[in-house]
Chain A
Amino acid sequence: MVPILTLAADGTDRVMLGGAYVVDDFALVFKGFFLLASYVTILMSMDYIADGDYKEAEFYFLMLISVVGMMVMSSSRELITIFVALETISIPTYLLAGWRKHDERSSEASVKYFLYGALSSAVMLYGMSFVYGLSGSTLLADISVWAGNGDIGVIGTLAILLTLVGFAFKISAVPFHFWAPDTYEGAPTPVTAFLSVSSKAGGFVGMIVLVYAAFAPDPAAWQTFMWVIAAASMTVGNVVALRQKNVVRMLAYSSIAQAGYMLVPFAVAPDGDTAVAFQATIVYILIYGIMNLGAFACVIAIARRTRSANIESFSGLFYTSPTLTVALTAFLFSLAGIPVLAGWYGKFVVFASVLDAGNTWAIVLGVVVAVNSVIAFFYYGNVCRVMWFHKPVDGDAHPIRVPAALRLGIALTMIGTLVVGAFPQLVAHVSDLAPFAPTFGG
């Protein structure tokens, strides 16, 4: 954390290896975010891993390797480095998802995640090989020159789309989301939090870098693709989340829908102010990370006693553990985007980017966002209703004992959610970043 702050105070961009690896404000913001997010994830893991007779040292080792991959990802501006960073993020998480070795569901989670992950990285590499062959370079700066040259042809478009598919998988956008609900449900819950926040943000960082630094001059190749997966992710994620009985599975679908909101600025970026869209995605990722980690921390704390994450097992929670109930309610309302909690500002910047573009397709997408936000109220609200108004199931009136580390994790994310919600200019300032050099053409 300290080197990042000193570099941030220094303010100059550092460029290494001929532009392949840079340390600029964008990289520093995300390095800081990844460090904080993994810190909170480790706080959440400590008691979970210690209680469950799992291997402890290897768990943290693999998690930190994955964090190293994220650090590299936020600085890389070159195809080989991006690929290596993506695999460094992914491979340890395949293993982490299967950490409950004797539970068939955990192994299933791991196998599904691995299969889809390996398949999608092969598809992404195939796209990258054509991007390299057509542009003649692996540096994103050179690729943007190629994309700006006018006609890149059918193969060029296909190459760009195949490359983006790999990242669409990583961020679990519909229709590349099939692994996500099963993996999220089967994996140990702290790992699920890690996958749905850090690993997803890692995929988004790769996508932001590729789209804004390399493919930006040719929006015709990818704008429609982004529009479709953004709309599909929001709609499918929210509608399927409505009928989930398990809170973790519901959060999995909700995180698919949230990925859709984050994709919206990509789809409208070429039509409006690029900087607005660029910052909208970043702000949304940062806010989503804080509130989603908080929600998972609360679910872990509650599931320590209930031993299940079924929505019914949450009933009457207010009568036994009011603090935890209030915290979880706050995080869920924040995810739904109710003001004063951080989530509203994320929604606000997304809408701002849509209005900034202002043409018909952008407005249609804005309407999709609005409708989906309303749908989301139902399932977030349902969990809260069960917790506040139903009677406790088992008649166990003892409050849930929350371990100190987990309590610290909840407190940190709660402070983050409240402060960012009340003073959004804090994040707005942090991510007041200039987009990368290439500008949109066409």
Chain B
Amino acid sequence: MQIIQFLILAAFLFCVGVYGVIVRKNSVLVLMSIELMLAGVNLNFLAFSAMLNDTAGQIFALFVIAIAAAEVGVGLALVILIFRGFGVSDFNELDEMKG
């Protein structure tokens, strides 16, 4: 089965993304890791769409790409806000509130 290879690659991409979000400190790298997770998701959708001969998966992937772009736009705006305002480029350094 061809699809297995796609799914394994997608799962690998997704896991690398999760690892990156958890381990990386730099905010831009965290955003990139989230993009990596979404790349895995898109690959999944496309592989299933090809397997099922159904276009819904491709349409879903297009929506994911568009919305991910909007989300990263907001994310980068936040990175710039905290960098300019507080001189922090690391999400983990923001820890005023606890408990």
Contact = CB atoms under 8 A, between A and B. Distances in A.
Q: Please say whether chains A and B are actual partners in one complex.
A: yes
A87 B71 contact: yes
Given A80-B63, A118-B34, A107 B86 contact: yes
Contact of B67 (A84, A138, A240): A84
Contacts of A111: 27, 78, 82, 91, 94
Q: What does DSSP make chain B's interface, helix, strand, loop or mixed?
A: helix
B19 to A, nearest CB: 12
Nearest to A102: B85
Interface of A: 79-80, 83-84, 87, 91, 94-95, 98, 101-102, 104-105, 107-112, 114-115, 118-119, 121-123, 125-126, 128-130, 132-133, 136-138, 181-182, 185-186, 240, 244, 249
B78 A94 contact: yes
Interface in B29-45: 30, 34, 37-38, 40-41, 44-45
Nearest to A86: B67
B82 to A, nearest CB: 5
26 contacts: A79-B60, A87-B70, A98-B78, A98-B81, A107-B82, A109-B97, A110-B78, A111-B94, A112-B94, A114-B74, A114-B78, A115-B21, A115-B91, A122-B41, A123-B37, A125-B41, A128-B60, A129-B45, A129-B48, A132-B45, A132-B56, A133-B52, A136-B52, A136-B54, A138-B56, A240-B99
A111 B56 CA distance: 33
A107 B85 contact: yes
B31 to A, nearest CB: 8
Contacts of B27: 111
Interface string B64-93: 100100110011011001100110000100
A95 B64 CA distance: 20
B9 interface: no
B38 to A, nearest CB: 6
**For the complex of A and B, 5 pairs with smallest distance between CB atoms:** A133-B48, A129-B44, A122-B37, A108-B94, A125-B41
B56 A108 contact: no
B60 A80 contact: yes
Contact of A108 (B48, B63, B97): B97
Contacts of A249: 99
A249 B56 CA distance: 43
Given A80-B60, A105-B96, 6 more contacts: A108-B95, A109-B97, A119-B21, A122-B34, A129-B41, A137-B54
B82 A105 contact: no
A87 B67 contact: yes
B48 A104 contact: no
A98 B48 CA distance: 38
Contacts of A104: 85-86, 94, 96
Interface string B1-42: 000000000100010010001000001001000100110110
A121 B63 CA distance: 13
Interface of B: 10, 14, 17, 21, 27, 30, 34, 37-38, 40-41, 44-45, 47-48, 51-52, 54, 56-57, 59-60, 63-64, 67, 70-71, 74-75, 77-78, 81-82, 85-86, 91, 94-97, 99
A126 B57 contact: no
Given A108-B97, A182-B97, A118 B85 contact: no
B96 A108 contact: yes
A118 B20 CA distance: 14
A98 B57 CA distance: 34
A414 B45 CA distance: 48
Nearest to B36: A122
Contacts of A240: 99
B97 A126 contact: no
Contacts of A128: 60
B21 to A, nearest CB: 6
Contacts of A122: 14, 17, 34, 37-38, 41
Nearest to A155: B7
Nearest to B3: A133
A114 B75 contact: yes
A159 to B, nearest CB: 10
Contact of B38 (A107, A125, A133): A125
A136 B48 CA distance: 8
A87 B65 CA distance: 12
A136 B60 CA distance: 13
A249 B60 CA distance: 38
A15 B75 CA distance: 36
A136 B75 CA distance: 33
Contacts of B54: 136-137
A126 B63 contact: no
Contacts of A80: 56, 59-60, 63
B78 A126 contact: no
Contacts of B95: 108
A242 B66 CA distance: 43
A120 to B, nearest CB: 11
